């Protein structure tokens, strides 16, 4: 087995980074200064929605009284008890029985991420059932984050179930959602995961850098 060492499980942001629903509100990059044009330095102006690319949802996303990015300490984002599943969504209830109940973060590789860059990725992705939140919390009392290789918990094909899922995870069971992960290269459980959300005061969701270490 290849030792991957420290590995990014997040995508770089660019002007083609997907947004839920295929919205046109994407990352815009404007070169405000360029050395080749006689300026002293190179500078960019960036404009983008907060739920773009690999990003994390906070409770505020579905509740005005919910916690925001500002409510989490640096230590919250270090995970030494990691769970990893490589299976379809419907197999999750069975497969979680094989994992350590003390895990703090669960990463699900559904394989749907192979469609990233195609219309199907944001238009026809499967929905994660709302009851999975209570299922995961019951089986893993210390779980803080659930991440996966799809653009969202929800789907345009079942928006009502998707809304329930967000509320169940974020509000009812205090499990943050990590969406649009880059899981193509991994097939084994990381030893450690560190998340680095973009520090935007009181944000309901932000792009997030994900680093996994494989000893």
What is the residue-level pLDDT of the chain in tens, covering all 215 positions? Answer: 456 789 999 999 999 999 988 777 899 999 999 999 999 999 999 999 999 999 999 999 999 999 999 999 999 999 999 999 999 999 999 999 999 999 999 999 999 999 999 999 998 999 999 999 999 999 999 999 999 999 999 988 899 999 999 999 999 999 999 999 999 999 999 999 999 999 999 999 999 999 999 98
Domain-embedded: residue 11: no
Domain that holds residue 165: 50-214
- What end-to-end distance do the CA atoms of the chain give, in Å? 11
Q: Is 46 helix (H, G, I), strand (E, B) or coil?
A: strand
pTM above 0.75, yes or no: yes
Strand partners, 30: 45
Domain-embedded: residue 199: yes
Domain-embedded: residue 137: yes
Domain-embedded: residue 134: yes
The structure tokens listed for 80 are: 């030494």
Domain-embedded: residue 36: no
What is the number of structural domains in the chain?
Answer: 1
Domain-embedded: residue 27: no
Domain-embedded: residue 23: no
CATH code at 145?
3.50.30.50
Residue 187 sits at φ, ψ, to 5 deg, of -135, 15
Strand partners, 46: 29
Burial of residue 75 (CB within 10 Å: 0-12, 13-18, 19+) is exposed
């Amino acid at each position: 087995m290849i030792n991957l060492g420290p590995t990014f499980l997040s995508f770089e942001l660019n002007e083609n980074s997907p947004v839920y629903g295929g919205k046109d509100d994407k990352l815009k990059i404007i070169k405000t200064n360029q050395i080749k044009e006689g300026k002293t330095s190179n500078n960019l102006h960036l404009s983008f929605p907060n739920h773009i690319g690999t990003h994390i949802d906070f409770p505020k996303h579905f509740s005005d009284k919910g916690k925001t990015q500002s409510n989490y300490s640096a230590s919250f984002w270090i995970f030494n008890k990691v769970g990893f599943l490589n299976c379809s969504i419907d197999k999750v209830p069975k497969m979680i029985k094989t994992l350590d109940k003390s895990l703090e973060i669960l990463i699900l590789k559904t394989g749907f991420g192979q469609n990233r860059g195609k219309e199907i990725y944001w238009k026809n992705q499967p929905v994660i059932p709302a009851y999975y939140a209570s299922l995961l919390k019951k089986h893993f009392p210390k779980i803080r984050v659930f991440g996966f290789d799809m653009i969202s918990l929800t789907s345009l094909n079942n928006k009502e179930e998707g809304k329930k899922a967000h509320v169940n995870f974020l509000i009812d069971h205090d499990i943050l959602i990590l969406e649009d992960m880059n899981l193509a290269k991994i097939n084994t459980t990381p030893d450690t995961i560190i998340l680095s959300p973009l520090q935007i005061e009181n944000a309901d969701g932000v792009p997030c850098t994900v680093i996994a270490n494989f000893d």
